[in-house]
Each structure stands twice: as C-alpha cells, then as structure tokens.
Amino acid sequence: MRGRALYAAAAAWVVVALGAALAGLPGWLVIAQAIAIVLPALAAVALHRLGAARGGPRAAPGPLRTDPAEAGARRHAGVVPVFTPPPPATLAPARPPFGRAPDPVPAPAPPEAQQSLLPEMAPAVPPTPAEIALALDFAQSEGDGLAQAAIARCTADPDLARLIRAAQDAIAMMGARGLYVEDVEPRAGQCALWRRFAAGGRGAEFAPLAPAGAAEVFALAALRLREDEVLRDAVHHFLRRFDATLARVVPEADDQTLEALIAGSSGRAFGLMARAVGTFG
C-alpha cells in the first residue's frame, strides 16, 4: 500500500511539473522535474530496505513445474530423491476404559505354595526279596514274564542293577572258559548258616555252604582265576556285589526265598567261585 501511495505522489508531481511548464513558471518547472525524478528513486530505495528488514520478499507458492527433459536426465543419471521417513511414534501403554481401574498384577506365589502345586510323587517301592531272587536267576527264567518284570524292577535300583550286570558278565566269562553254574549244586537246609554268613560271619564253620560238585570243576575254576586276570577281576567284582546283596536281602527273606536265591544262577556262580577263592574256609 505504501508503494502505491509513493507512486501516486510521484505522478502528482509530474502533473504539477507539466502544469508549471504550461503556465510559464520556470522555477516551478525545475523544482517539479527534480522532485519527479528523485522521488521515485527514494521510494524504490525505501521499499528495498523495508523488504530486507522483513526477510526479503516472499513469493507466493505456485504449482510445482518439472521440466520433462530435466526429469528424464535425472532418471537416466540415477538421481533419486531421498525420502526420510518420520521417526516412529513412541508406543504408549494401553489405557483402560474410562472409569475402570487397571487390573492388578498378581504377586508371585511363595516357594511353599509353588511346591504345593506340584503333583506328589509316590515314593518308589523297593523290590521284594522274592523279586530279587527271581531277577538274579535270569538265565534259568528266560522267557518268563514274571522274571522279566522282576528284572525290570531290580534294574531300576542302582545297586541291584550293578549286581545284575556283574553277574551276567561273570557267568558269560565263566562259560567261555568251561565253567558252568549247572555243574554245581547248592546244599539244602543251610538257611541259618547263610543268615550268619550274610551278617558278616567267616571262617571254617561256613564250609558247609560250599556247593557240591566234581572236584575237577573247582580245580579248573581255581586254575582259571590264577591264569586269567580279566576273569579274576570280573569274578571278584561279582563276589563283592553279591555279598553286599546278601546282607541287604537275607534279613528280610524267609527260608524259601533264601534257598531260591542261593539255588538261582547267580547264587550257584557265587558258590562256585567263592569256594575256588577260599571264602568258605
């Protein structure tokens, strides 16, 4: 608006100058011409300073025009405008519906309560003396369902599992060297003496516990034990395991179960090799 007023004033002075010239007033003509020339220049300078003070003239936004030739050259040169995505919005926790308080977080249960939630495991029932005697007669009970069940229960017990493996190894090695448990026969009616032996008794009084058999069988067993270190180690390992099992089983076994234990394959192997190493005095 100020620029238009200045231009209007300049035009007015031009009119005044022309009027002065027509009226024949040279003084006024000179003054009017000077003002007509200087005033527009002053107005332009004032407008320039005003625009600079306000940050320069601003052009109104117009439609974006792109030269087709320039755009093609940019695509050909591989110039692609870079688009910087805005930063992702920060996720805020979900708010509960209006008028409803948030659900409280349940506190962890104490260790005692957590343990009470676990199912109670029934304690494992150890095998009975009858099951142990049946499991240790595995060679004579092969294919018997009751014997297989007894072996499965006994092998779940670490000590009995070691005894069963030791008995199998010893009997297999003995058979490979001509020593068979069927060649000896346990003596009957010695349950009382066996109970004392299982309690730790030793000496010549336990000689009746040695099984009956041909003399050459025991002589061959002693010879094999002296000459074969592998057999000797396996046999002594088996004898220690079986002796420990006697101390565990005999106090709870009746006479029938005790005789079945001694007459089984493992019991016969124990009697044969125990006599060969002099365990019975």
Q: What is the pLDDT of residue 31?
A: 59
Query: 30: pLDDT confidence band, cut at 50, 70 and 90?
Result: low
Q: Under a CB-based contact definition with an 8 Å cutoff, are residues 249 and 222 in contact?
A: no
Report the pLDDT value the prediction gives residue 202, as an integer from 0 to 100.
Answer: 92
Whether residue 169 lies inside any domain: the answer is yes
pLDDT digits (tens, 9 = 90+) for 226-273: 999 999 999 999 999 999 999 999 999 999 999 999 999 999 999 999
Determine the Cα–Cα distance for residues 142 and 147; give it in Å rounded to an integer: 7
Is residue 142's pLDDT more than 90? no
pLDDT at 148: 86
112 in a structural domain: no
Burial class (CB in 10 A: 0-12, 13-18, 19+), 32: buried
Q: In this predicted structure, what is the pLDDT of residue 121? A: 44
Is 212 inside any structural domain? yes
Residue numbers of the domain that contains 13:
2-48
pLDDT of 174-201, one tens digit each?
999 999 999 999 999 999 999 999 999 9
Write down the pLDDT at residue 139: 56
Which residue is listed with tokens 């920060």?
90
Q: Model confidence over 68-78: pLDDT tens digits?
A: 455 454 544 44
* Domain co-membership, 44 together with 144: no
Structure tokens at 261: 């234990």
Is residue 90 pLDDT above 80, yes or no?
no
The closest alpha carbon to 235, from 274, 198, 279, belongs to 274
What average pLDDT does this structure show over 118-129?
66
**Averaged pLDDT of the chain:** 75
- pTM exceeds cut of 0.75: no
pLDDT value of residue 145: 80
Rounded to 5 degrees, what are φ and ψ at 47?
-65, -35
**At 129, is the pLDDT very low, low, confident or very high (cuts 50, 70, 90)?**
very high
Domain-located, residue 68:
no
Co-location of 38 and 173 in the same domain: no
Instruction: Give me the number of domains the chain comprises.
Output: 2
Residue 147 within a domain: yes
pLDDT mean over 6-33: 57
**Cβ count near 148 (within 10 Å):** 15
pLDDT at 46 over 80: no
State whether 148 and 267 are in the same domain. yes
Q: What residues form DSSP beta bridges with 184?
A: 213
List the structure tokens of 109.
């249960």
Closest to 238 (Cα-Cα) out of 264, 270, 275, 262: 270
Do 133 and 224 lie in a common domain?
yes
**185 in any annotated domain:** yes
* Residues 132 and 252 sit within 8 Å (Cβ to Cβ): no
Per residue in 93-120, pLDDT (tens digit) is 555 554 455 555 556 555 554 444 444 4
> Which pLDDT score is estimated for 81?
47
Distance, CA of 72 to CA of 78 (rounded, Å): 10
Q: What is the DSSP letter of 185?
A: E
Examine residue 272 and state whether it is found in any structural domain, yes or no: yes
16 and 148, same domain (yes or no) = no
36-45, 52-61, 199-208: segment of lowest average pLDDT: 52-61
pLDDT above 50 (res 4): yes
C-alpha dist (Å) from residue 216 to 202, 239, 272: 25, 21, 12
Is residue 76, in this structure, part of any structural domain at all?
A: no
Better-scored residue on pLDDT, 102 or 82: 102
